[in-house]
Every structure is written in structure tokens, then in C-alpha cells.
Amino acid sequence: MSAAAQSRNRRGEGERLRDALLTAAADLLSEDPDIDHLSVRTITARAGVTHTAMYLHFADKQALIEAMKTACFAELTQALTDAVHDVPDDPVAGLRAAGEAYLRFGAARPGHYAVMFHSARAGVADTPDTVRSAGMRAFHQLVDLAAAVVGEADAHDAATNMWLALHGRITIRRSMPWFPMSDDITYVREQVNALTQRRPRTAPVTHE
Amino acid sequence: MSAAAQSRNRRGEGERLRDALLTAAADLLSEDPDIDHLSVRTITARAGVTHTAMYLHFADKQALIEAMKTACFAELTQALTDAVHDVPDDPVAGLRAAGEAYLRFGAARPGHYAVMFHSARAGVADTPDTVRSAGMRAFHQLVDLAAAVVGEADAHDAATNMWLALHGRITIRRSMPWFPMSDDITYVREQVNALTQRRPRTAPVTHE
DNA sequence: AGACTAGGTTGACAGTGTAAATGTACGCTG
DNA sequence: CAGCGTACATTTACACTGTCAACCTAGTCT
């Protein structure tokens, strides 16, 4: 197990270590989904370098994790794209496929999923734009599908509702695995139904 | 600020330190909702004892956190009870009040909320029954309210759906505060609507 | 040949969780 | 009243964490 111990990169290729560290971290997270067990030392060791080598490419551990976030979001986006791709042209079916793929991703890669939604940098310094847009790219897949079902105007809110429902399910499954829940497919279907049947959004503004 | 530095408890009253540690931890969590910043050292210091004194009452840090979980769940249960209490006898209104109170709790006490849903003990040793039932007690408030709306048979599933939607919202708000979302009240109303309008659950068992 | 510097390492520091050994004063029994 | 057991707590130590400053090392360019 482990340590590719690559011998020192050549002159122009220092960036290679950056990728090596990211994939090392991703590998470790696949083996142990608990994000607290992911230390700078184990990551760098797995990549075959000493711990402080990380600081050549990342400002700190948090920066590395943020880089992982964008990578994980990209992976999720791909998973959703794939799932929707091999499905007939029915928008509702596409939405279901996406929802199921989302739940599958969360269950199959719990560590990666946890990284994506790990609390933002405490306080001041906000989430970098790269992370934000990577997240948004994944989310907009749902929005586009929803638009084909409920129309452009309601798409964002509808997709948000569905997303929050899916996310809630994955996180509860993780923190309370003993909690009894129906199967994923039924759940997704319910969510899609709720989406199609919801009132056309309280007009301009609340009234009752 | 801090350190009640209580001078050594008397013979029978060793249990007092246990409570002192729990409230110290809760206080610290109110001041800084980031659970990683909650260390054994800071907790014990706040309680006015040395770090290893914690091990007189808790097997390890995880055990202390699990004790906090039950306390936090109790607090949440109370918050829901209160919210439902001062509302007319309309079950739907009660459900809305509970949902809004839930969201309020998550927003007002982010640290406490995070503790409750912090991932279970890795691998083997499962969540203690005390924590489980404390969580269930909170959840059953929703179930009871839902029962008055959709009937006993569907109550559990309906409450689960609503709960997951609320939970998803709180956690996303925390990890992606920049994500645009509608206001809480509208959201809760939508969830309650979805709950009342949903199809009566796919018969006894899946069929198609 | 020699300097420059990109790419990494060494060593140290404060902070973390936990275990083992040690202390201290209360309350009981003789 | 003397003395002992033990409930309550501290001291000390260890392996591990993230991060900083100083150092080395070899490829490239003049």
C-alpha cells in the first residue's frame, strides 16, 4: 500500500506535485471517509514527499481541502451528466435519474461528499470563486432539468428544494445510519412529484 | 472571562464536574460554532480543572460529545414544544410553527446543531441508545404533528421528508452561506404543502 | 566555472487526545 | 483520636497534528 515516492520533479514540472497531493488525498479519503483522519502528514507521505512539501503548492491545509472541493464537485457534475445522458428524452425521467445519481454519489463516496460540504473557512476569508462556481456548475445541472419541467421562472427554486432534500437525506444517512428510511428511488420519485405539483410559487409576493 | 475554578467537589458530588464540563463545552460552542475548535483542553480549562480530569467522567472526547448530543437534542425538543404550544389548534399551523422553530434553532445555535449531527463514531461502536432516543424524541414531535394532518399511517414518512428538507437547508446554509435561498417561512410553507398534497404513499409495497 | 533558483528536506514549536503514575483531603472504622 | 481507604483530581509523558524558518541540492543559464 501507498507511497509512489516519485523522485524530485524536473525543472518545469513542479506543478505535478500539486496534482499528486490532490489525488493522494482523494485516495486516502476513499479508504477512510472520516475527514478528521485526513492529515497533512498522511497525504504527503502517500505522495512520497515530506510533510512541509505541501506548502510549496498550498497556503495551508484548508487551501488543499478547497482544491479538493472543486475536484469533487467536478466529479459529481460528471456523475450527474452521465446519469442523465443515458436516459430517454423525458425531462421528468432525467430529473429522476439525476436525483438517483446524486444519492448514489453520496453513498458511494461519503468522504468526497463530506469534503464538498465541509464548513467554509471560519469567519473572514470567504469561499474562493473557483469552489463556488464548481459547486454552481453541479447545481445548474439540476436547474436545467427542472426548467424543462416547471419552466425557467420556477426552475431555480424547484431545483433548490430538490437539492436540499437530497442533501439532507445523504447527511442524515451518514450521521444517523440507524434511522429508518424508505428506499432512495421512492424518495426521489416523491421529490420529483412534489416539484411538478407545487403551486406556481406564491405569485409576486406572499398574500395569504 | 471564564474559569469558575471550583475548588474540588466534596465526597458524594463528583458528578457535578460532569455537568460542569458539559455546560462549559456548550458555552464554548456558543461562542465559536466550529466544532474542531472545541478541544479537551479548552473545555476543562473553562470548567476550572486540568485536562485529564475529563477522563474521570467520560471515556474519551467522543463520549463527551455524545453526551452533548443528547443535551442538544433535548434543547431542540423543548424549542419545538414551545413553538407548537403557543399556536391555535390547527394542525397545519402547528406543523409550520415547528418547522420554522427548527430552522430558527439551526440558525441561532449553529454549533449545537452541528454537534447533534456530527458523524457517528467511526466504524464499530455504534451510537449509544441514549443519543438515539433523544434524537427520536425530537423527531417524534414532527411525527405527531404530521399524524394530525396526513394520518397515522403516513405520518412517519411525511415527517421524515419534511425533516430531511429542513436539515438539508440548515446544513447548506452553513457550508455555503453564499447560496441564494428564499426565506425560511416560504420554504416551510412549501414543505407543509408538499406534505399535505403528496400521493398516499405507494400502497403496501412497491409495485411499479 | 560559477551563480541563481526551482523543488524539497530538516528541525523545531505550540497545540491536540490519551495513558500511567502521583498526589490530597474527606469520612469511615478501630 | 489515629490511621487508613478511596473519591476526586493533578502531574508528567507520549505520539500526533498544522505550520514556520532555515537549510540543502541539483538543473539551468550566462
- Of B139, B118, B156, which is closest to residue B74 (Cα–Cα)? B139
Q: What's the predicted TM-score (pTM) here?
A: 0.92
**A12 burial via Cβ count (<10 Å: 0-12, 13-18, 19+):** exposed
Which pLDDT does position B200 carry in this prediction? 56
Residue of B nearest to A201 (CA): B190
- A167 to chain B nearest CA, in Å? 5
pLDDT of residue B206: 38
A161/chain B closest Cα distance in angstroms: 8
Nucleotide nearest to A14 (CA to C1'): C7
Interatomic separation, CA of residue A13 and C1' of nucleotide D22, rounded (Å): 24
* All cell numbers assigned to A134: 464548481
Q: Which residue of A has its CA nearest to B116?
A: A175
Alpha-helical runs (H) found in chain A? 15-31, 40-47, 61-85, 91-108, 110-116, 129-150, 152-175, 184-197
Give the mean pLDDT of A59-72.
97
pLDDT of residue B7: 72
Distance CA A11, CA A129 (A): 30
The dihedral formed by the CA atoms of A5, A8, A13 and A17, expressed in degrees to the nearest 10: 40
| CA-based nearest distance A55→chain B, Å | 22
Q: A184-196: per-residue pLDDT in tens?
A: 999 999 999 999 8
Select the residue from B175, B191, B207 to test the A interface by mutation, using most A Cβ atoms within 10 A. B175
At residue B127, the pLDDT reads 87
In whole angstroms, C4 C1' to A11 CA is: 13
Q: DSSP readout, chain B? A: ----------GGGTHHHHHHHHHHHHHHHHH---GGG--HHHHHHHHTS-GGGGGGT-SSHHHHHHHHHHHHHHHHHHHHHHHHHTS-S-HHHHHHHHHHHHHHHHHH-HHHHHHHTSPPSSSSSPPPHHHHHHHHHHHHHHHHHHHHHH-HHHHHHHHHHHHHHHHHHHHHHHH-TTS----HHHHHHHHHHHHHHS-S-SSSS---
A96-141 residue pLDDT tens: 999 999 999 999 999 999 999 998 766 545 788 999 999 999 999 9
Amino acid at A41: R
User: Which tens digit of pLDDT belongs to each residue from A7-24?
Assistant: 777 766 678 999 999 999
Q: What is the pLDDT of residue A2?
A: 41
Mean predicted confidence (pLDDT) in A68-90: 95
Q: Provide, as residue numbers in chain A, all residues whose Cβ is less than 8 Å from the Cβ of B190.
A: 161, 198
Smallest Cα–Cα separation from B61: which of B52, B73, B49? B52
Instruction: For A125-175, give the DSSP string.
Output: SPPPHHHHHHHHHHHHHHHHHHHHHH-HHHHHHHHHHHHHHHHHHHHHHHH
Instruction: Using the predicted structure, report yes or no on whether residue A207 has a pLDDT greater than 80.
Output: no
pLDDT lower than 50: segments of chain B? 1-3, 124, 201-208
Minimum CA–C1' distance nucleotide for A12: C6
| Closest chain B residue to the Cα of A166, Cα to Cα | B168
